[in-house]
Amino acid sequence: MELPDYLPVSMLNAFAYCPRRFWIEFVNAEMEINAHVLEGQIKHERAHTSGIQHEGAEATARRVYVYSDQLRVTGFADLIEIEQGRVTPVEYKKGVLGKWLNDHFQLCAQALCLEERLASGGHLFADVQLPVAPIEFGFVFYFGSRRRERVELTDTLRAQTRECIAQMWTVLTENQMPAPLEKFAKCRECSLEPICLPREVRQLVG
């Protein structure tokens, strides 16, 4: 397999949920388009109108391109808020807050990308002066609950996010599709279960 130069930040969400899901989506380029997936895509399209709005010293920017040369990931932040000299990323998700941390990892990766760009002297917006400072928290907005969930970007979460990205590169380098999860709790909530066939594969391999 020829490795890409960068990985999509969105694929971190898939990998953190299940490495096999990441492989199916990224390597095999397969996706089960059901009603739930389609609904999520439509809601994201509505939220992804790019542009920046100013209100005094405050600003909000939608669909901002971010990347990290150190981590070799790239993608888009749904929303970035600049308020009182503070940069806050916001990620939009369908449904409600779940039991897993994959949404947190994706948000944290966006923050790491933003911090790297600001620290290297890069400008997110030509007409907005931003501070070179750690991003302390972000938000995940869930359409299902219509609520923002605050995510503290702790040292622990940052380390877990970096490790998850490193594992993504390891899986691609080894060029071996990960086995299904041993516990099927996540599988029941996964749109790719009909493609992955975790129970059938587990039975075959013993």
Q: What is the pLDDT of residues 93-134, one digit of tens each?
A: 987 777 788 999 999 999 999 999 888 775 666 556 666 688
- Tell me what pLDDT residue 9 has: 96
- Tell me what pLDDT residue 84 has: 81
Q: Is the pLDDT of residue 83 over 90?
A: no
Closest CA to 94 of 138, 59, 145: 145
**pLDDT range class, residue 162, cuts 50, 70, 90:** very high
The answer for residues whose C-beta is within 8 angstroms of residue 42's C-beta and 6 or more apart is none
The answer for residues whose C-beta is within 8 angstroms of residue 53's C-beta and 6 or more apart is 59, 60, 61
- Tell me what pLDDT residue 60 has: 86
CA-CA-CA-CA dihedral for 73, 91, 105, 171, to nearest 10: -40
Instruction: Please give the residue that has the higher pLDDT: either 127 or 46.
Output: 127
Closest CA to 103 of 168, 71, 151, 48: 151
Q: What is the pLDDT of residues 32-45, one digit of tens each?
A: 544 344 444 444 45
Q: Which two tokens stand for residue 79?
A: 């929303």
Q: Which two tokens stand for residue 117?
A: 């760009």
Q: Is the pLDDT of residue 88 over 50?
A: yes
Percent of the chain with pLDDT over 70: 83
Q: What is the pLDDT of residues 1-18, one digit of tens each?
A: 789 999 999 999 999 999
Domains along the sequence of the chain with CATH: 7-178 (3.90.320.10)
